[in-house]
Amino acid sequence: MEHNKHKVGLTLGKFAPFHKGHQLLIETAINEIDELIVLIYDDPVINIPLSTRADWIRKIYPNIKVIEGVNSPNDSGYTADIMKIQEDYVLSILDNREISHFYSSEPYGEHMSLALNAIDRQVDLSRNIIPISATKIRENSFKHKEFLHPEVYKDLITKVVLLGAPSTGKTTLAEKLAAHFDTQWMPEYGREYWENHQVNKRLTLEDLLIIAETHIEREDALVLKSNQILFSDTNAITTYLFSLDYHGEALSALENLAKRAEKRHDIIFVCDTDIPYDDTWDRSGDVKRKEFQEKIIEDLNTRNLKYYMLNGTIAERIEQVSKVLSAYKKY
């Protein structure tokens, strides 16, 4: 093969999760060749979906070709049979596409390059430049988050939202949960905005959109600082319902944010009204609390969203949340 022509590189792996060691490999290839193909192996042992791993690479490197290797071989090692199985699989995926350079950070680069008739380009085989492995990250992503791109890290966080009418204990519970799990929590931005912008206890349609947008922006920033879990006090669905309650309507942009909020959080908890009503100046009474609580639950049911009711004391609610989280697997 003439390697001075159009240079096409190939690299492969599970990328579970995709980390800076993988990025070093890809960026080295991008700087040396004209075109790069990334083949991502599926694996029944890896919980992170193949599509999620592929999307990480597509978002970070939109100009490279990503192939999702469905039904890829699971056996690894260096026996003649295993190497032949791996080589045959890669050749079948490529379908006679010529590869000039094979990039890897593993010893298998040698035999795979021979099978491809490609240059064996091994990068940081000893892990001196980027001293990390996907195994270590899976054990504790927070401890090793410096080795993860934000696009990847945010997807590893379990996002929990607490919903409920005013004075149902959301703020106190979110703060206590964050302390209990040693992580971050997102306060309700609407409360802060209300204190600075309300006029006669009213907010405009535009105000409510700003609240939802800013809440999301702040939440996105906190995700990157979170340890496994992020607890959020309310979401855009609640803001949308407030808009309907205040004005009988909502801006289409806010309605869209509420729709997107359906998939924004992994777990939804609704704080019950079984705690004493805190009748502060900015609230509308216990009757209104119960009415709005009914609207929240009705809306969640209409959207067909699964949620868990929390009741009792703060300690009891923390215990209920902990039980749900202990049984939950994001991937």
**pTM for the complete prediction?**
0.90
> What mean pLDDT is predicted for residues 236-259?
97
User: Which pLDDT score, from 0 to 100, does residue 278 have?
Assistant: 62
Architecture of domain 8-140: 3-Layer(aba) Sandwich (3.40)
Between CA 167 and CA 314 the distance in angstroms is 13
User: Which pLDDT score, from 0 to 100, does residue 314 have?
Assistant: 96
Between CA 189 and CA 211 the distance in angstroms is 6
> What mean pLDDT is predicted for residues 320-328?
98
User: Which pLDDT score, from 0 to 100, does residue 1 have?
Assistant: 45
Between CA 26 and CA 315 the distance in angstroms is 48
Structure confidence at residue 289 as a pLDDT band (50, 70, 90): confident
**CATH number of the domain at 157-327, out of 1.10.287.3240, 2.60.40.10, 1.20.210.10, 3.40.50.300?**
3.40.50.300
**Beta 119-122 vs 184-186: how paired, if at all?**
unpaired
Cβ-contact 29, 70 below 8 angstroms: no
Question: Does 162 score more than 60 pLDDT?
Answer: yes
Cβ-contact 251, 180 below 8 angstroms: no
Residue 201, sorted as left (phi over 0), alpha (psi -120 to 50) or beta, turns out to be left
Structure confidence at residue 280 as a pLDDT band (50, 70, 90): low
Mean pLDDT (the chain) is 93
Share of residues in the chain with pLDDT > 70 (%): 95
In the chain, CATH 3.40.50.620 covers: 8-140
Share of residues in the chain with pLDDT > 90 (%): 83
Question: Does 91 score more than 70 pLDDT?
Answer: yes
In the chain, CATH 3.40.50.300 covers: 157-327
Structure confidence at residue 72 as a pLDDT band (50, 70, 90): very high
> What mean pLDDT is predicted for residues 26-49?
94
For residue 10, what are the β-bridge partners? 37, 102
> What mean pLDDT is predicted for residues 310-321?
97
User: Which pLDDT score, from 0 to 100, does residue 164 have?
Assistant: 96
Between CA 60 and CA 58 the distance in angstroms is 6
For residue 186, what are the β-bridge partners? 232
Structure confidence at residue 140 as a pLDDT band (50, 70, 90): very high
Long-range contacts of 115-118, Cβ-Cβ distance < 8 Å, separation of 24 or more: 115/87, 115/90, 115/91, 116/10, 116/90, 116/91, 117/1, 118/1, 118/10
> What mean pLDDT is predicted for residues 192-203?
85
Structure confidence at residue 277 as a pLDDT band (50, 70, 90): low
Cβ-contact 100, 9 below 8 angstroms: yes
Structure confidence at residue 5 as a pLDDT band (50, 70, 90): confident
For residue 229, what are the β-bridge partners? 158, 227
